[in-house]
Chain A
Amino acid sequence: MKKTIRFVLNGYEVTAEVAAHKMLLEVLREGFQLTGAKEGCGQGECGACTVLVDGLSVNSCLYPILEVEGRSVTTVEGLLGEGNRLHPIQEAMVENGGIQCGFCTPGIVMSAKALLDEIPLPDEARIRRGIGGHLCRCTGYVQTVESIRRAAEKMAAQGERDS
């Protein structure tokens, strides 16, 4: 069973012909060559495949592709700013050692984005809850939490300067 679907991908309207049994992750990686989201466990435990659908974090390995019809999907590639500038969350991950092997990083960045969109200055407990759906095999959680905290502070300061 094949179907043509339309959705918004990183701000662009896209159309894709997909097999009904595909998950969003497969279509992103194989159809659109967006390889930021990774397949780790494939079962909703590790969070490496996390993307945003209508602003909410989801495991794209468990998200049936036909369900994105009419919705807006954001992947880590969609966070790049003008001139390919990294998003403040990505910058903070680089600056604070939040990345080791990097496999879990795109997913964590997307969960951090969803968290900070909802709660601009979360405390540490809230950050830990926010990334509770991620596993880092390098176990670099302390630096990850620190990176998100720093990103939040930077973004809040930036927001104040801009307003």
Chain B
Amino acid sequence: MKGFDYFQPGRLEEAYGLMETLGAEAGYIAGGTDILVRMKQKIIAPPALISLRRIEELARMGRDRGLLLGSMTPLRALEKSEEIAASYPCLSQAVASLANPQIRNVATVGGNLCNAAPSADCAPPLMVLGATLTIGGPGGERTLPVEDFFEGPGRTVLRREEILTGIAIPERVPGTGSAFLKLGRVSQDIAVINAAALVIMEGGVCRTCRLAVGAVAPTPLRLRGVERLVEGRRPDPELLAEVERGVRGEVNPITDVRSTEEYRREVSGVLLRRALEQAVRDVR
């Protein structure tokens, strides 16, 4: 790994200023468990890193009707949160499946999103939970739904100086159930496919359905076509079979080192059906 400078600003404005001064090749670093690996593999060689770890406002977890997560919240904090386990089980399950304890102790929820891996485990659950992201920059703040954040593998809407500052998850409404499922070679591996489902049920009928899947397209994907199929109906075996077929038609996978296009297409249907079933069972 080539040498680099390392800056540790204490405030956001300082970080934006540093990025402006240091120029195009500098990078932000959160937990570092992805960017440092890419630097060691000589895929990238930024001459300077700006660490976000000392910016206190990014590490806060709070409430404002729903849940507010600072982007620098370590995955460990999400894993241990009783509130997340109770109100947002799909997110809890995703974090528990992600990497290993040493990584979860330093890797952050914001870092998982900003790396924009199509397989990012935090993405599908945050998408079905209807999370909104806050992005800060020298020109001010903007907010957008999490599904509008990703542009392609490793690419997001973030402009160079901008920082993902926070993630807002709406309050859970009664009658909601959610689930996350992941298929990997071994447990805690990078996902071959991951999937999240959320339903809001009313009298046995699914009023709202949100489905998201990862590693089967250039970005994590909301399955809006299949969602429309489910809404207003009872989750019976006939509907579940339709879901499986619908998912296979809506995903756009590739063949890579972890799996083939055909396998991903076939199994994403199965995984989403199971996630939907589990979400229905989780309804409280």
Question: A-side interface residues toward B, CB under 8 Å?
Answer: 1, 19-21, 23, 42-44, 47, 50, 56-59, 62-64, 66-67, 69, 111, 114-115, 129-130, 132-134
Contact = CB atoms under 8 A, between A and B. Distances in A.
Given A20-B4, A62-B32, A133-B100, 13 more contacts: A1-B6, A20-B6, A21-B1, A23-B36, A42-B40, A44-B102, A57-B102, A59-B33, A62-B37, A63-B106, A66-B6, A132-B188, A133-B101
Contact of B105 (A1, A57, A134): A57
Among the interface residues B5, B101, B103, which one has the most CB atoms of the partner chain A within 10 A? B101
B6 A62 contact: no
A21 B6 contact: yes
A133 B102 contact: yes
A47 B101 CA distance: 10
Given A44-B37, A64-B51, A19 B3 contact: yes
A21 B103 contact: no
B36 A132 contact: no
Contacts of B32: 62-64
Interface residues of B, number: 27
Contacts of B102: 44, 47, 50, 57-59, 111, 133
Contacts of B106: 58-59, 62-63
B234 interface: no
A62 B105 contact: no
B68 interface: no
A23 B106 CA distance: 14
Given A20-B5, A21-B4, A43-B37, A133 B53 contact: no
Nearest to B74: A56
B76 A56 contact: yes
A132 to B, nearest CB: 4
A21 B106 CA distance: 18
Contacts of A19: 3
A20 B49 CA distance: 10
B179 interface: no
Interface string B95-129: 00001111101100000000000000000000000
A58 B105 contact: yes
Contacts of A130: 101
A1 B3 CA distance: 9
A115 B8 CA distance: 30
Contacts of B53: 67
Contacts of A129: 101
Interface in B175-197: 187-188
B72 to A, nearest CB: 12
Contacts of A58: 102, 105-106
Contacts of B101: 57, 111, 114-115, 129-130, 132-133
Nearest to B49: A64
B51 A67 contact: yes
A136 to B, nearest CB: 14
A57 B100 CA distance: 10
B246 to A, nearest CB: 35
Contact of A1 (B5, B103, B188): B5
A111 B103 CA distance: 12
Interface in B134-173: none
A66 B29 CA distance: 13
Contacts of B4: 1, 20-21
A66 B53 CA distance: 11
A144 to B, nearest CB: 15
